[in-house]
Amino acid sequence: MRRTTTWSIALVTSLAISGATGATVAAAATTAPVAAGTAAVTVGGSQDPTTARLLATIEADLPADWTARKAAALERFGIERSTAQEAVERAIDPTQYQCAPTRLDAYVGGLLAGVDPRIFRVLASVGALDYATYDAILFGSQGAPGYALPKAYVNELSQSFRAAQKFWDTDGSDIQLMAMHGDLMTDPARISPILQIVFGVPRPDADAIAAAVAELVATDPGLQGGQSPIFTLNAFAFSAAGETDPALSRLPDKLVFGDGMLDALQAIGVGDIGPRAVLGHEYAHHVQYDAGLTASPLTGPEATRRTELMADAFGTYFVTHKRGLALNAARVLEAEQSFYQVGDCGFDRPGHHGTPNQRLAASTWGWSVADAAQKQGHVLPSLTLDAQFEAKLPELVAPDA
């Protein structure tokens, strides 16, 4: 069961043809592929002795079956590949790049412009682009200073979150709203427990790898001491309901915004509506968890597409509804269209989260239901809205089915 449902901006974006920066990263990556076979990390020659020493430390201390452990951890925590990791993979294999460069490609390319490609490649290999996500799941808590929402967003997101808790008929009082920041990336004492708990790395090796990762991040100016948005380019809903894994079962439900995701929304021109639309979408995943709407007769990509399109529909229903956030529907749909487009070139993953057309159709339908309900000032029970959604789903996917 998927427990950690990311917001799917740019799941299939690429650096490969996003200008000189992308080309540099692609070329560097091609000479020494990430996660090739069972080799943990393939370290390229570095002229800088400090970098070379740190890379060698990581290579020496990683378990031999690292690639398998990394995949198992993603599965265990229900985490989708991070946007940055997807981007790196596309950069390694540019033939997978099948759509025109977007504003997000330019944004991601810009983030990596000043980063040593060898360092970035190794950080991606050791799973470092997911450390902030694992950290927030395992250790994050609402109200803790280390997970505080950025000042510029705290009012908007907190108020919208409380509105969602009131709006939906599911009990969201146990969900914790928080941010994730990149500061752990230079703190070995925070990285080592992740390596131990998530990946099963023995303490001494975990400490050594954590120290090397933290030093690499600290020494590459392009990574901004961990503050580069590349480490937190994610927003997700987490629930451990029904989970028996002892490391996870006692964790509270969470809704987490990465600093990098908020930065990316600004960068692609949807900073006004984007954060609340993402909150609406992620909160809708919690409605699904709590109302038992995640399961269906569908399997594989079609099952994921159903829950994602439902989250798009429910999220838009909430943000446009007069008793929800009452945001301007035209602007909401325009912003959503814009981020669905940058988020999906999806030819190699048909139907994974729905195509831009399908996602916009789902959002537009969510708004139309809210609009029709306004005269009664009535919010539909989640199960009623779901029944309407299930009936509509074949029509929503039809244009690109």
* 11 vs 122 by CB, closer to Zn ion: 11
Q: How far is the CB of 161 from Zn ion (least distance, A)?
A: 16
Alpha-carbon span 42 to 90, nearest angstrom: 18
DSSP tag of 136? H
* 18 vs 320 by CB, closer to Zn ion: 320
Q: How far is the CB of 155 from Zn ion (least distance, A)?
A: 24
Q: Give the binding range for Zn ion (CB under 5 A) out of 40-48, 112-120, 311-319, 354-362.
A: 311-319
Cβ–Cβ < 8 Å for 260, 182: yes
* 116 vs 312 by CB, closer to Zn ion: 312
Cβ–Cβ < 8 Å for 275, 257: yes
Alpha-carbon span 310 to 322, nearest angstrom: 20
Q: Mask of contacts with Zn ion, 333-372, x by CB under 5 A?
A: ----------------------------------------
Q: Give the binding range for Zn ion (CB under 5 A) out of 57-65, 106-114, 206-214, 307-315.
A: 307-315
For Zn ion, how many residues bind (rule: CB under 5 A)?
A: 3
The residues in 38-67 that bind Zn ion, with binding defined as CB under 5 A, are none
* AA identity, residue 24: T
Q: Which two tokens stand for residue 229?
A: 């948005």
Q: How far is the CB of 315 from Zn ion (least distance, A)?
A: 9
* 115 vs 311 by CB, closer to Zn ion: 311
Alpha-carbon span 369 to 317, nearest angstrom: 7
The residues in 177-196 that bind Zn ion, with binding defined as CB under 5 A, are none
Q: How far is the CB of 340 from Zn ion (least distance, A)?
A: 12
238 vs 58, 235, 253, CA distance in Å? 30, 10, 6
For tokens 């902030």, name the residue.
Answer: 132
Cβ–Cβ < 8 Å for 273, 332: yes
176, β-bridge pairs:
254
* 118 vs 352 by CB, closer to Zn ion: 352
Helices then strands (H, E): number in the chain? 16, 4
Q: Give the binding range for Zn ion (CB under 5 A) out of 33-41, 59-67, 268-276, 304-312.
A: 304-312
Q: Give the binding range for Zn ion (CB under 5 A) out of 42-50, 152-160, 301-309, 390-398.
A: 301-309
Residues 6 or more apart whose CB falls under 8 angstroms from that of 2 comprise 78, 294, 304, 307
Alpha-carbon span 222 to 113, nearest angstrom: 7
* 213 vs 311 by CB, closer to Zn ion: 311
DSSP for 209-252, written as a single string: HHHHHHHHHHH-GGGGGGTSGGGG--EEEE--TT---TTTTTPP
Q: How far is the CB of 351 from Zn ion (least distance, A)?
A: 14
Q: How far is the CB of 236 from Zn ion (least distance, A)?
A: 8
* 62 vs 264 by CB, closer to Zn ion: 264
With residue 179 as reference, give the H or E element that holds it. Answer: strand 176-180
Q: Measuring CA to CA, which residue among 336, 334, 354 is closest to residue 344?
A: 354
* 11 vs 267 by CB, closer to Zn ion: 11
Q: How far is the CB of 195 from Zn ion (least distance, A)?
A: 27
Q: How far is the CB of 281 from Zn ion (least distance, A)?
A: 6
Report if residue 311 touches Zn ion, rule: CB under 5 A: yes
* 359 vs 392 by CB, closer to Zn ion: 359
Q: How far is the CB of 285 from Zn ion (least distance, A)?
A: 6
The residues in 90-129 that bind Zn ion, with binding defined as CB under 5 A, are none
256, β-bridge pairs:
178, 236
* 5 vs 13 by CB, closer to Zn ion: 5
Q: CA angle, 3 as apex, 86 and 271 as ends, to 5°?
A: 55
Cβ–Cβ < 8 Å for 104, 342: yes
Q: Measuring CA to CA, which residue among 225, 198, 178, 69 is closest to residue 131?
A: 198
DSSP tag of 375? G
Q: How far is the CB of 40 from Zn ion (least distance, A)?
A: 31
How many other CB atoms are found less than 10 A from the CB of residue 331? 13
Among 5, 125, 160, 234, binds Zn ion (CB under 5 A): 5
Q: How far is the CB of 6 from Zn ion (least distance, A)?
A: 6
Q: Give the binding range for Zn ion (CB under 5 A) out of 128-136, 167-175, 306-314, 392-400.
A: 306-314
* 240 vs 311 by CB, closer to Zn ion: 311
The residues binding Zn ion (CB under 5 A) are 5, 308, 311
